[in-house]
């Protein structure tokens, strides 16, 4: 008999839809796939060359559990640049390199949460948060946000939700799935609430940090709330900004005792991440951030093209994302009876050959998520077919 922890876990909705898309493609169908949770760009030439060099130099041994020292240094430097208001800049020893940002989040949740502890985050949420909390034996307390309030949590909502059992607050900006982005001012207001509750840790998931559509609007949580450094874990990685999803490079930056716990956990589970990926990460992080700008411009261009098409339909409500590479679309006006976005997404795929991710697993049952991390032609045709499908429903 499997443990109750794994018995209750849900299969990832994004992986499920991708399996259906692949099956339909194998049957010879043309599918307009807007489900991608990863960039359609290639890693930088410098990162690729570094992998090849590492292979040729036989860099094939175990690496230290928390990562190669040079890489930890570079991550501390990047984080300190984004959190310049800290009184105590991070040291390399407070960095743990993980198998993607996912492992950093999973291990943080596992390190903090005991049976019955509460973890707060807002919906729509990244679908792995509740599953990770469940796996650790905790309880997710989900605070609903809507497009009307820019999918932002208010300090009042946060204050009202904190109880003596609250152990962790997770914040994700820019957000997957909505593309919402918290301003420095709002983060400060949330930070003021959190300062009053010293038992609450904060995990700031900053995996989409570089993908902001108005330069200078994104702010790291600790840049806004430096007083919370002693109980904040910053999670980031190169999956999105380095276009290196498959190379699995993420990290946590956290206070000493939390870092020790994370290293212990990783030491007994995965050990240090792939040596070749670390070589790529070192090369990538040595490159100036400005190199990423053309990709952000391309995402912005695609976002605007897609918005133009989707806004032709008054029957859907489309949120204009401020960062990341997703469009979150509310279809409630066209859902009938008890239908939720699962049924809608299934019909859209079968009848219009457009693949999107249902919002049900993101905690937004009337919404769908479209990714614009795909080529312009697929994106435009997919959006046009979606609009035509919606009109065919009435």
Ligand X SMILES: Cc1ncc(COP(=O)(O)O)c(C=O)c1O
For residue 78, state whether it binds ligand X (rule: CB under 6 A). Answer: no
Which is nearer to ligand X, 101 or 130 (by Cβ)? 101
Query: Exposure of 218 by Cβ count < 10 A (0-12 exposed, 13-18 middle, 19+ buried)?
Result: buried
The tally of CA atoms less than 13 A away on the side-chain side of residue 38 is: 17
Q: Give min distance, CB of 82 to ligand X, in A.
A: 16
Which is nearer to ligand X, 43 or 101 (by Cβ)? 101
Q: Which of residues 164-193 bind ligand X (CB under 6 A)?
A: 172, 176
Show the CA angle centred on residue 65, arms to residues 59 and 67, nearest 5°. Answer: 60
Stretch that binds ligand X, among 89-97, 213-221, 237-245, 364-372 (CB under 6 A): 237-245
Show the CA angle centred on residue 142, arms to residues 138 and 144, nearest 5°. Answer: 175
For residue 207, state whether it binds ligand X (rule: CB under 6 A). Answer: yes
Stretch that binds ligand X, among 18-26, 85-93, 94-102, 305-313 (CB under 6 A): 94-102
For residue 107, state whether it binds ligand X (rule: CB under 6 A). Answer: no
Helix (H), strand (E), coil (C) string for the chain:
CCCHHHHCCCCCHHHHHHHHHHHHHHCCCCCEECCCCCCCCCCCHHHHHHHHHHHHCCCCCCCCCCCCHHHHHHHHHHHHHHCCCCCCCCCHHHEEEECHHHHHHHHHHHHHCCCCCEEEEEECCCCHHHHHHHHCCCEEEEEECCHHHCCCCCHHHHHHHCCCCEEEEEEECCCCCCCCCCCHHHHHHHHHHHHCCCCCEEEEECCCCCCECCCCCCCCHHHHCHHHHHHEEEEEECCCCCCCHHHCCEEEECCHHHHHHHHHHHHCCCCCCCHHHHHHHHHHHHCCHHHHHHHHHHHHHHHHHHHHHHCCCCCCEECCCCECCEEEEECHHHCCCCCCHHHHHHHHHHHHCEECEEHHHHCCCCEEEEECCCCHHHHHHHHHHHHHHHHHCC
Which is nearer to ligand X, 108 or 176 (by Cβ)? 176
For residue 126, state whether it binds ligand X (rule: CB under 6 A). Answer: yes
Q: Give min distance, CB of 87 to ligand X, in A.
A: 28
Q: Give min distance, CB of 40 to ligand X, in A.
A: 14
Q: Give min distance, CB of 50 to ligand X, in A.
A: 18
Which is nearer to ligand X, 10 or 163 (by Cβ)? 10
Stretch that binds ligand X, among 100-108, 115-123, 269-277, 304-312 (CB under 6 A): 100-108
Q: Which of residues 24-53 bind ligand X (CB under 6 A)?
A: 37
Which is nearer to ligand X, 75 or 352 (by Cβ)? 75
For residue 102, state whether it binds ligand X (rule: CB under 6 A). Answer: yes
Which is nearer to ligand X, 145 or 313 (by Cβ)? 145
Residue owning tokens 């008890």: 338
Q: Which of residues 303-362 bind ligand X (CB under 6 A)?
A: none
Contact 118, 292 (CB under 8 A): no
For residue 100, state whether it binds ligand X (rule: CB under 6 A). Answer: yes
Q: Give min distance, CB of 56 to ligand X, in A.
A: 27
Q: Which has the closest alpha carbon to 217: 315, 121, 134, 324?
A: 324
Interface size with ligand X, residues (CB under 6 A): 13
Stretch that binds ligand X, among 97-105, 222-230, 264-272, 307-315 (CB under 6 A): 97-105
Tokens (6 digits) for 169: 């607050």
Which is nearer to ligand X, 79 or 172 (by Cβ)? 172
For residue 101, state whether it binds ligand X (rule: CB under 6 A). Answer: yes
Q: Give min distance, CB of 350 to ligand X, in A.
A: 26
Q: Are strands 326-330 and 367-371 parallel, antiparallel or unpaired?
A: antiparallel
For residue 206, state whether it binds ligand X (rule: CB under 6 A). Answer: no
Q: Give min distance, CB of 126 to ligand X, in A.
A: 4
Contacting residue, 20, 183, 188, 245, with ligand X by CB under 6 A: 245
Which is nearer to ligand X, 101 or 382 (by Cβ)? 101
- Tell me the residue number closest to ligand X, measured at CB: 100
For residue 247, state whether it binds ligand X (rule: CB under 6 A). Answer: no
For residue 12, state whether it binds ligand X (rule: CB under 6 A). Answer: no
Q: Which positions lie near ligand X, rule CB under 6 A?
A: 37, 100-102, 126, 172, 176, 205, 207, 237, 239, 245, 250
């Amino acid at each position: 008999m499997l443990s109750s922890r794994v018995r209750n876990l849900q299969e990832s909705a994004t992986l499920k839809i991708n399996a259906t898309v692949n099956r339909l493609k194998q049957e010879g169908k043309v599918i307009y796939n807007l489900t991608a949770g990863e960039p359609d760009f290639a890693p930088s030439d410098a990162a690729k060359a570094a992998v090849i060099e590492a292979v040729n130099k036989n860099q094939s041994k175990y690496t230290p559990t928390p990562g190669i020292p040079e890489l930890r240094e570079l991550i501390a430097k990047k984080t300190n640049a984004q959190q310049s208001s800290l009184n105590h800049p991070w040291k390399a020893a407070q960095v743990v390199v993980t198998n993607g940002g996912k492992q950093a989040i999973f291990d943080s949740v596992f390190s903090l949460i005991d049976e019955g502890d509460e973890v707060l985050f807002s919906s729509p949420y990244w679908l792995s948060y509740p599953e990770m909390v469940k796996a650790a034996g905790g309880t997710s307390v989900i605070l609903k946000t809507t497009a009307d309030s820019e999918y932002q949590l208010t300090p009042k909502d946060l204050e009202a939700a904190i109880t003596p059992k609250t152990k962790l607050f997770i914040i994700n900006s820019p957000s997957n799935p909505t593309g919402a982005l918290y301003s420095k001012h709002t983060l400060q207001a949330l930070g003021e609430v959190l300062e009053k509750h010293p038992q609450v840790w904060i995990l700031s998931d900053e995996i989409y940090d570089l993908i902001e559509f108005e330069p200078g609007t994104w702010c790291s949580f600790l840049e806004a709330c430096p007083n919370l450094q002693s109980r904040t874990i910053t999670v980031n990685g190169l999956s999105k900004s380095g276009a290196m999803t498959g190379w699995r490079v993420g990290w946590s930056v956290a206070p000493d005792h939390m870092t020790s716990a994370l290293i212990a956990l990783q030491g007994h589970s995965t050990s240090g991440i792939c040596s070749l990926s670390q070589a790529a990460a070192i090369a990538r992080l040595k490159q100036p951030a400005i190199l990423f700008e053309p990709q952000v411009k391309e995402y912005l261009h695609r976002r605007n093209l897609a918005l133009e098409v989707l806004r032709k339909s008054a029957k859907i409500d489309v949120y204009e994302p401020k960062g990341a590479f997703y469009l979150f679309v509310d279809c409630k006006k066209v859902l009938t009876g008890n239908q939720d976005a699962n049924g809608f997404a299934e019909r859209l795929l079968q009848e219009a050959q457009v693949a999107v991710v249902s919002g049900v697993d993101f905690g937004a049952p009337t919404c769908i998520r479209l990714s614009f991390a795909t080529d312009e032609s697929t994106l435009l045709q997919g959006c046009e077919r979606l609009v035509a499908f919606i009109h065919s429903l009435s």
